[in-house]
Every structure is written in C-alpha cells, then in structure tokens.
A and B are shown apart, each in its own frame.
Chain A
Amino acid sequence: MLHKLSFRHGVHPPELKELTEHVRIRRMPYPDEVVLPLRQHTGKPARVMVGAGDRVERGDKVAAADGFISAPVHASAAGIVEEVGIWPHPDGSYSTAVRIKVDPYSAQAARPRLVPQWEGLTAAEIRQAVQDAGVVGLGGAAFPTHVKLAPPKDKKIETLIINGCECEPYLTTDHRTMVEYPERVQLGIRIMMRCLSVDRTMIGIEKNKPDAIETLQATLPSDLDVTVHPLTVKYPQGAEKMLIEALTGREVPSGKLPLDAGVVVQNVASVGTIAEVFETGLPLVERIVTVTGHGIRNPSNLIVPVGTKLRDLLDMCGGMTDDAFEIVFGGPMMGAAQANLDVPILKGTTGVVVLTESQCRRVQSYSCIKCGHCLDACPVFLNPQLLGSLAKAERWEEMEANHLMDCMLCGCCSYTCPSNIPLSQLFQLAKAALRKRKAA
C-alpha cells in the first residue's frame, strides 16, 4: 500500500473496547413494557396509528412515516397499547410515544408476511420496502436510509462505502455485527449495490478489529467488486467525510454532501438490517446495543427490542457498580448524557456507556492559552480557538463566516484542550442559535 489509509488531524483517545469486543451478542428477554417515541429519526416525526387498548403483534406498524424524510415506527413486542402520551426522550425533553404493555405469554412471533424477493424488484421498489421497514442509519444520526438510496438523477454515484470504523471508544456494536453476521452484511451490500446500481463497494474497517477484517474478507462475494480496506486507528475515522477522504482520496466540499463526491456511505449495522428485512420481512424492531463502561457489572453486546427502557437494559447487564457516575447514550466522545433511567433505547442508540466517578472528574475551565492543540486536532480544519472565543461573545454570524457549519461536533477540540474549555458544547449551542435565527 502506497499511502496509509487515513485522514489528516484527529485524536487518539484510549480505545477501551476490550470490555466487550470478544463478547458474543446475546438476545435480551422482552421487558415488561416498551416505549416507542414517534421521533426516533432525523426528519419529521411519524404519525401515530394506534390508540390505547389496541392489541399489536411484534412488527406491526404503530406509526406511519410522515413525508419522504421520515420513517415509520413498528411495535417491537406483542402486547396491548397502554397509552399514547408524553414520555421522557433521550434528548432531555418529553415527546409523544406509544407505550406497549408486553404480553408475557406471547410467543413474540411476527404475523405471517410476504418476504420481498429483492432480486426481482426495481430500485424504487427496494427503496419503498426499506422505508416501509422503518430502516434508519444505525450509526447514531438515525437518518432515514431510503433517502440515501434515492440520489438525485444528475448526481452519478460511483462508489458505495460501508462504514465499519466504529471509532468511538468503548463501542463494539458494528465490530460484533461484522464478526458474527458477515453473510448478512454481504447480502445487504448486494441489495444496496443493486438499488444504487453502483459497481464498486469499499468496506472501511479500523485496524483494531483484525477479526472483523478477516471474517469479511473471507466472505467477500466473488462476482462483485467489493473490497475490504483496513484503516489507521484514529478518531473520528468513522465520520462520513473522513472515511471518504481515507478511502477515495476525495474531499467532500464544504457544505456539500457525500453525493457530491459520487459516494454513498452506509453503516454496517444498517446494511445488516436491510439484509434482515429482505430475509425475514420483519421491519426494524430490534438492534444490537453495546452496554459497556467501567460502571456496569456485566458489559455485553445485546440484541435489544427498540423501546426498551434504559433501566431494564442496565438490570439485564447486572446493574451499575457503586462508583457508576454518568450514563451516556452513544460513545463517550459524541454521545449524550442521560438524566432519566426511564428513557427508551431508540433505533439510533449505538451503545450505553456507564462511566465511573474517577472518569468524570469535575475539571475547572481555564482561559484559552492559544496553544493551538485544537487546530491540530480538528479534522475539518477549522479554528476552534477563534470559534470558541466568538461563541463566548455570542457572535454567531462571525462564527458562520468561519465555517462553523462544517463542524460535526466530533469533540476532538474539547478532548485536546489543556484548559478544559467545553468547545464542542459551545459550537453545539452556536449551531442551534444560528438554526433558530434562520428559521425565524
């Protein structure tokens, strides 16, 4: 290999994946109750279709997609709809959710259904089937997958990139998916290549998952141009634009989408889910979640029904240790801290990380000493120290002129800052303020 496959800048946080990287995926028993918020994806929330008292089987649609950039929500367990009302959402607000009392005597078998035979379907039919199954990006952002499968006609897609980097510390969801379900990933790739009519697929995997690289390489299809590319271990290698740079050498222009570089990027877990939809006909009702961190007794990789409450999931993993301190949905770099144990696991929840008190020591924030560490860390070549001081002065427009909108909130700047300035939180606020101003 002539050049190392990677991108410029970035950081090297401790990987901490040893807790769960060799733990086999187990299936979690059904909890007593599942909570399905209507807002689980980027875009418009789904429209509710059931009412209190209705009996639903596993896989039944409880809320329909509202528009193109939206996804339906399906019952993840058979039972009786208890209530359609407000419930704590992982983003800290209360939002409308369908609460289902799970029937303990149900076999949890889905209704007999037609399994779509993808070989005979057109691209549009595959897209429709993917949307009907409520598939969203399982890497965290939860962007409806069918939208990515519908590129505008004037944009030529040359390459499909499968994201198996999983660069966030602790998380092993994608890793275990690749090791245990390689055939499913390959089938998903096959279906997506047909739908997008691309000839080339590149699978990017960080080098710290040798077993995943080996398994996928061993199962590669012989009739298609699919290649596996081991990548340098660096954060945020799994960010869409960084991955494209590493694999194709192309840089996605500022403010543009991967489509503009002729690329579609999909997470391995989403690809696996697509394969499952066409294998069983069952919509997205469960996902693999890594429950890990030094604050949990039995770190595990679990197949969890969507809508399982955080409390039930923690109990399943032996509960929290005495020095558990903070619970994060997603990875520790970009994930969101949780304040309520009743929040449900969403389609986009990649992992639950329980951190201990010693890991969350309260640090004082000092003044910027202009050391420039953040500039060396920022993978999109922004100037976080300048943006940070502008954010403190609430000079949002100037921040926008300094390309704030290219920031993906990866947290590299906050991670390297020796003065502990919460830079990425400041940028998150600035982006929200600018969005609000534009909407007004």
Chain B
Amino acid sequence: MEFTTIMGSVAILGGVGLAFGTLISLAHLKLKVWEDPRIDAVTDLLPGTNCGACGQAGCRAFAEALVAGKIQPATCTVMGPDDITDVAEYLGVEAGEASKRVARLLCAGGSDVAVQQAEYRGLQTCKAAVAVAGGGKACAWGCLGLADCEIVCDFEAIYMNYVGLPVVIPDKCTACGDCVEACPLDLFVLMPLEQKLIVQCKNLLEGEEAEAVCQVACNACGRCAADAASGLIEMVNGLAVIDYDRNELATPDAIARCPTNAIVWVEGSQFVDKPELVRSATV
C-alpha cells in the first residue's frame, strides 16, 4: 500500500515534469529568435564595467552596436590597445582611432594657495557645502576638496592629494564622465590628452580681486593671449579661454609670463602628490 502511494506520486510528478519539459522544448524550437552569436562573444571580450563612456547604455549595448557596425572598437575608452585589437580582429573590422581623453580639473586652488574665508561644518560632501554659502572657500568657483568625485569614480582614477585637490591618474581615467556629473561646481572637463594647454581656473573676478581669493587664480591680465599664436587665447569675462579648435597652435610659450601660474602646460597628471609635504603637514 505505502509502496504504491510513493510510486504513484513519483509517477504523477514525473509525468507532469515530462509534459512541461516537452512543451518547453517545443516552444524553444518554435519561438526561437536568432541572435548573432558574436554579440555574446564580443561582450565577453569587453571590460564589463558598464561605465557608459562610449555613449552606449552599457557593454552589451556597445557589443550590439559593434556587431551591427555602427561603432568602432576604439570608442571604448576602458580597453587597452591590445584588447581593442582583439575585438577588431574577431569582428574583422578596423579598430578605428579615438584620441584618449581624461578628466581635467579647471581649478588648482588647493588649501595651500586658496583663501579659506569661513569654516564649513555641515555635511561633508561638496554638494552639501555648495548649498551653505558656497562652502568655506573665498573663491566661489573653486574646488571644495570634499571628494565627491573621488567617491563616484568607479576606476579608482581619482585620489585627493595633500592640499585637497583631486588628482586624476590619466592611465586609469576612462573619461566616463561620472566626475563631471558629480562636481557641483562643474570643474571637471573631459579633454583629449593632446590638449596640453589648460587654464586651471574658473574664477570670474579680475586683477587684484581674483588674486585676493587665490594665489593661482586667473587675474585676466592677458599676457598669455598676447604670447600665444593669435586667436588661440581670448579673454572672456575675467578668464583666459583657449580655443581648442586651434589646439595645434598651442605651445608652452603661452604660460611663460603668467604671473599666477593659472595657465599651465600639462604632460600626464595635472597635480602631483608630494609625500614629504604630507609628512611635514601632519607634524
């Protein structure tokens, strides 16, 4: 009696399972949608960070666009040249060329040079500080140094240095734009590495007023505009503005006479950390 009950249950469940299994396999054959197997293969070759720097909705969307031929492998800023070649060879397409871009900070006013006019004691994020009288810095445009960008960076490409400025490591930066969005003062700009001439200031004050709030502020003296090739630099609203469409004309000559070092010629990283200063600062 008991044995037949057990076997009966097994038979019923097995039968139901078999019936549904058959249905599913039939449905699989009947309703199958063909998908290019290369999409999966390419997705596996991609970094899988889903950072969105390529402009697509994620790595799989990028793979679909690659297979469809809408985009070139080099658009991915996270992959190294070897990986890009791998993808290009697999798909049999041109790797394409994209100049490497990195996030650049348009402020050099660290705590050693920028005047602190008040102490900010609220919530320790840049967004919160901006809402309370613009934070403690005398310069209303300058980096607050509360590291919203460092926190938001998925690639550990940003760290805060000894004066509270975010250092972007060009090798790790993928130009995904997360820091650009995170900065409440809009200080980050994604720039191609070839753009080496940078005005590291967004302060709209001029002359002594600008220098009173920060030693490295652009005081709009106009020397860089005079020294650079004509039309490259223009003074707009108390700031030197570089026309990057004529970037090939840029030379380090432009920075030679800058009285505040607001305009700089950047090779590699913008700011550096100085360990010996870190030590002396903590003493």
Contact = CB atoms under 8 A, between A and B. Distances in A.
B68 interface: no
A422 B140 contact: no
Contacts of A93: 134, 140
Interface string B130-141: 111111101010
Chief secondary structure at chain A's binding surface: mixed
Nearest to B131: A428
B205 A336 contact: no
Interface residues of B, number: 19
18 contacts: A86-B204, A88-B140, A90-B133, A92-B132, A92-B140, A336-B132, A337-B132, A339-B118, A339-B135, A340-B117, A340-B133, A362-B121, A422-B123, A422-B128, A425-B132, A426-B123, A426-B128, A429-B123
Given A428-B131, A429-B131, A433-B127, 7 more contacts: A91-B133, A92-B133, A93-B140, A94-B204, A362-B121, A422-B123, A425-B132
Nearest to A341: B117
A432 interface: yes
Contacts of B135: 92, 339
Interface of A: 86, 88, 90-94, 336-340, 360, 362, 422, 425-426, 428-429, 432-433
Contacts of B117: 339-340
B133 A337 contact: yes
5 closest A-B pairs (Cβ-Cβ)?
A92-B134, A339-B118, A92-B133, A339-B133, A422-B123
Contact of B136 (A86, A339, A429): A339
Chief secondary structure at chain B's binding surface: loop
Interface of B: 117-118, 120-123, 127-128, 130-136, 138, 140, 204-205
A92 B139 CA distance: 10
Contacts of B204: 86, 94
A432 B128 CA distance: 10
A339 B134 contact: yes
Contacts of A88: 140
Contact of A92 (B122, B127, B130): B130
A44 to B, nearest CB: 21
A422 to B, nearest CB: 5
Nearest to A422: B123
Contacts of B133: 90-92, 336-340
Contacts of B130: 92
Nearest to A88: B140
Contacts of A94: 140, 204-205
Contacts of B132: 92, 336-337, 425
B209 to A, nearest CB: 10
A40 to B, nearest CB: 17
A337 B121 CA distance: 11
A86 B220 CA distance: 15
A362 B121 CA distance: 7
